[in-house]
């Protein structure tokens, strides 16, 4: 089972939904998800916010943060994931932002990527990646990494819910 099929199956069996915010991946995460038959059971939609102004105006990323740090920042990734989750009314949001090349951006070298997950109740996580390879390889690995981060969070969220339902430990 692919990473996309795996996370979609987990979401569907729990009755949860997902929205995606992408920058450097340019729609590849959404394409990977929608390549899975039945994706519409869990996938709500995506925003490809390639331009920094769209991160601010559509996804609600803090303008001061963008001005001071640029778009390649872990807090930007986190705010993108939370913003798309809210915008699309999804239970979970994921985001990708970074530098696929060929040139550095915002003082960050090629291969610097941040992927983020935002979940119910303010849960979330950001992973910092330092990827090697050409533009295509960096983008593909970013897709794989954000889906893996979501899978980990879904498994962790399920364990937390089980613990709550079973009275503690």
Q: What sections of 15-165 are H helices per DSSP?
A: 28-34, 52-57, 63-69, 74-88, 135-165
Rounded CA gap, 167 and 165, in Å? Answer: 6
pLDDT tens for 101-112 read: 999 998 999 999
Count: domains in the chain: 1
For residue range 13-47, what is the model confidence (pLDDT) as tens digits? 999 999 999 999 999 999 999 999 999 999 999 99
- Categorize the per-residue pLDDT at 160 as very low, low, confident or very high, splitting at 50, 70 and 90: low
Q: Please tell me whether the overall predicted TM-score, pTM, comes out greater than 0.85 for this model.
A: yes
- The tokens describing 12, both together, are 């569907």
Q: What are phi and psi of 13, to 5 degrees?
A: -70, -20
pLDDT score recorded for residue 90: 98
Q: Which two tokens stand for residue 74?
A: 């872990």
Residue whose structure tokens are 């996309």: 4
Q: Is the peptide bond before 102 cis (omega within 30 degrees of 0)?
A: yes
What CATH number has the domain bearing residue 100?
A: 3.90.950.20
Domain that holds residue 77: 3-165
Distance CA 23, CA 99 (A): 9
Interatomic CA distance for residues 82 and 79, integer angstroms: 5
Look at residue 133 and tell me whether its pLDDT is greater than 70.
yes
């Amino acid at each position: 089972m692919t990473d996309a099929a795996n996370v979609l199956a987990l979401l569907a069996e729990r009755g949860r939904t997902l929205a995606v915010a992408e920058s450097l991946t340019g729609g590849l995460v959404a394409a990977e998800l929608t390549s899975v038959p039945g994706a519409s059971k869990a996938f709500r939609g995506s925003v490809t916010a390639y331009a920094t102004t769209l991160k601010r105006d559509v996804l609600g990323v803090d303008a001061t943060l963008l001005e001071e740090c640029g778009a390649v920042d872990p807090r930007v990734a986190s705010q993108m994931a939370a913003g798309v989750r809210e915008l699309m009314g999804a239970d979970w949001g994921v985001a990708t932002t970074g530098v696929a090349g060929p040139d550095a951006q915002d003082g960050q070298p090629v291969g610097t990527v941040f992927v983020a997950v935002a979940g119910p109740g303010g849960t979330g996580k950001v992973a910092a990646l330092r990827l090697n390879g050409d533009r295509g390889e960096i983008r593909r690995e970013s897709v794989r990494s954000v889906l893996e981060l979501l899978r980990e969070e879904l498994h962790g969220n399920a364990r937390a819910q089980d613990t709550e339902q079973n009275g503690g430990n």
